[in-house]
A = this chain, B = another copy of it.
Amino acid sequence: MSVVLRRDRRVDARVVEGFSRFGVATVHEAQGRTGLMASFMRPIYAGATVSGSAVTVSVPPADNWMIHVAVEQCRRGDILVVAPTSPCDCGYFGDLLATSLKARGVLALIIEAGVRDVRTLTEMRFPVWSRHVSAQGTVKGTLGEVNLPLVCAGALVNAGDIIVADDDGVCVVRQERAAEVLKACEAREAKEAAVRARLAAGELGLDIYQMREALAAKGLTYRDAED
């Protein structure tokens, strides 16, 4: 009953790529604070920002067979999302799989487990967000599933959803909402740029956001220190 779903549909590439202009924090806010993976998902090197279309892989603990199966289902612009069925810190993925994914135009790996060969992956500039780094290898003995919905680091991911990742973490955007969320990102970014300029000039958030009255209404009190 182990299934690989073959999927041709992807969200329009310009929309998918559009998200990489924004940080994860912006995307997460723009879509109403949903879809964020747990904060233990960390990049293997700093500075990468990616957005791509999810190919999902559910794997048994300590068994990476299905990642090999999943590679074939990946296309240019995709991001592989891997979740084990129970917690595991094994290194499911190393430079050989990265070479294969890169050859197919895959942009990144998101894995709620371990990754290895991180020095080589860093040199290759193949970004990975993972829960662990470990040289511990895996076996190839038990099946899993490709492109079925899964939960990765606390977030539900469907095949084809947009994954956005940067130094702040990893966020999932439902494919149905992609265009709408992208617009909301642009709007948010524009608004923030204006605020940023005022803050840089020394204005206070208290005034820009007009918080003083609400704070006083809640009972905020100012006192002078006696020391």
**A-to-B contact residues, CB < 8 Å:** 1-9, 23-25, 28-29, 32-34, 36, 38-39, 42, 45-47, 49, 60-63, 65, 68-69, 71-72, 85-91, 94-97, 99-100, 102-104, 114, 116-120, 122, 132-137, 139-143, 147, 149, 151, 154-156, 159-160, 166-169, 171, 192, 195-196, 199-202, 204-206, 209, 211, 215, 218-225, 227
Is A103 a contact of B7 with CB atoms below 8 Å? no
Is B202 a contact of A118 with CB atoms below 8 Å? no
Is A137 a contact of B33 with CB atoms below 8 Å? yes
Known: A39-B136, A147-B225. A25 touches B117 (CB 8 A): yes
Chain B residues with CB below 8 A from A218, complex form: 2, 142-143
Chain B residues with CB below 8 A from A104, complex form: 202
Of the candidates B5, B89, B97, the one whose C-beta lies within 8 Å of that of A87 is: B89
Is A1 a contact of B222 with CB atoms below 8 Å? no
Of the candidates B85, B103, B221, the one whose C-beta lies within 8 Å of that of A33 is: B85
13 A-B pairs (CB sep. < 8 Å):
A28-B136, A33-B137, A36-B136, A68-B206, A68-B209, A69-B211, A71-B206, A86-B134, A135-B169, A139-B142, A141-B142, A143-B219, A151-B156
Chain B residues with CB below 8 A from A96, complex form: 192, 195-196, 199, 205
**Once bound together, how far apart are the Cα atoms of A136 and B38, in whole Å?**
9
Is B9 a contact of A71 with CB atoms below 8 Å? no
Is B155 a contact of A201 with CB atoms below 8 Å? no
Is B3 a contact of A135 with CB atoms below 8 Å? no
Known: A2-B220, A68-B209, A119-B46. A95 touches B196 (CB 8 A): yes
Is A69 a contact of B4 with CB atoms below 8 Å? no
Is B60 a contact of A62 with CB atoms below 8 Å? yes
Is B225 a contact of A134 with CB atoms below 8 Å? no
Chain B residues with CB below 8 A from A42, complex form: 133
Is A6 a contact of B223 with CB atoms below 8 Å? yes
**Once bound together, how far apart are the Cα atoms of A5 and B220, in whole Å?**
11
Is B72 a contact of A134 with CB atoms below 8 Å? no
Is B88 a contact of A86 with CB atoms below 8 Å? yes
Known: A4-B222, A49-B119, A143-B220. A215 touches B69 (CB 8 A): yes
